[in-house]
Amino acid sequence: MTYLTLAWRNIWRNRRRTLITISAIVFAVLAAIVMQSMNRGSHEVMIDRMVNFNTGHLQIQDYRYDNEASLDNAFHYDDTLREQVLNADPRITKVVPRVETFMLAANDVSTRGSVVFGVDPEKEQAFNQIASYLLNGRFPGADEETAVLGKGLADRLQLGVGDTLVLIGQGRFGMSASGLFEIVGLIEHPIRELNNSAVYLPIRSAQELLSAEGHITALMISLEQERHTDSVAASLGNELDSSELVVFTWPELMPELLELMEMDLAMPRLLTVVLYVVIGFGFLGTVLTMTMERLREFGVLLSVGMKRTSLSLVVFIETLIISAIAVTVGIILSWVLLRLIDPIVLSGEAAQAVMDMGFDPVIPMSFAPDQFFIQSLYVFLIAMAVFLFPLGKIMKLNILEAARS
């Protein structure tokens, strides 16, 4: 307690020096967290969209479907399987069946390749709020034989609400599949590729069209938290161990997305390392000045009988207090700043460029707790490493030379 009191008094004997040191660390924490938050925010939005509209956090398929994405490898789905999946782990929140296949979409004169999704309208809406992306019309009911098109595909076929869509393809086990569907809605799909190719049908209509009654190609699963993906996958895998069904996690289904994100993070990580190096040298300069100013003080304390280990401990506690205060203030200020700027709304050419890639013209911020503490920990460790300099100086200090300085 005596050492703590002494360290606290020493810190505030020179307020200017202490405040400069604290400000440097606060800036470092703030810069590191904001940079990380901007990058992670964009990636979280990307992952969230791909998970909600493409794969789910987890996906159950027939074990043959991954190697051959054919309707021949669809599997039977009923309420029994649904209850089995829901009861496998309490962290599972939603179970959404889908039939997915490639077909030709046509008007009376031209055709375009399309991805046909057979969905349960009510479950799909609960899963990803697909109806909120409607530009015109409505989403069909479960018992209708109608379709919703991505806006890009509708424009290419020059079709609108009320027109008739022709779908031509191959059903299960080589059966011919073709049908006419009234278009009841157009959506601006948040995934650009699907906006130019997606056709949504009620799942019963899709199954009848494809001669796949009672069968689906994938069962998408939503979880309470994305971080539970691997553990829930293990639970489901054990539950389905005796069947021909397998469980995939979203990273396994979208490895190319993870590779893209890793490439995208390369430059921010390099900039963060550069920032840490600059921060480290800034700290070192401050500490060098501080230490040289206090050599006489250290010499006097050692000459009156204070042990080097005790003096080193006091200086270490000073360092610990300054670093802790600075990192805490940095975390608080960064959280407040992120709240104030979240999201950053783009305008002009930058906004148009982002919209052309299929994203909203905003830069969202991430508030993942780990980024606050991990970035702060890095800066804290740098500060502690730099502050080892005065400790070494104390252990090697010549008392007579220091007292005369």
Residue 249 half-sphere exposure, CB side, CA atoms within 13 Å? 15
Beta carbons of 160 and 198 less than 8 angstroms apart: no
What pLDDT sits at residue 350? 58
C-alpha to C-alpha distances, 40 to 50, 349, 367, nearest whole angstrom: 15, 23, 9
What pLDDT sits at residue 354? 55
Predicted TM-score of the model (pTM): 0.69
Q: String of b and e for 86-97 (b: at least 16 CB within 10 Å)?
A: eebbebbeebbb
Query: Which residue in 187, 1, 228, 218 sits closest to 92, CA to CA?
Result: 228
What pLDDT sits at residue 360? 65
Amino acid at 35: M
Please, is 304 exposed, middle or buried when counting C-beta atoms within 10 Å of its C-beta (0-12, 13-18, 19+)?
exposed
Residue numbers in the chain where pLDDT is lower than 70: 1, 242, 257, 264, 346-362, 397-405
Count of CB atoms within 10 A of residue 337's CB? 15
Give 232-246 pLDDT, tens digit per residue.
Answer: 888 888 888 767 899
What pLDDT sits at residue 353? 59
Under DSSP, the state recorded for 61 is E
What pLDDT sits at residue 348? 67
C-alpha to C-alpha distances, 148 to 16, 36, 187, 403, nearest whole angstrom: 66, 38, 7, 85
What pLDDT sits at residue 355? 59
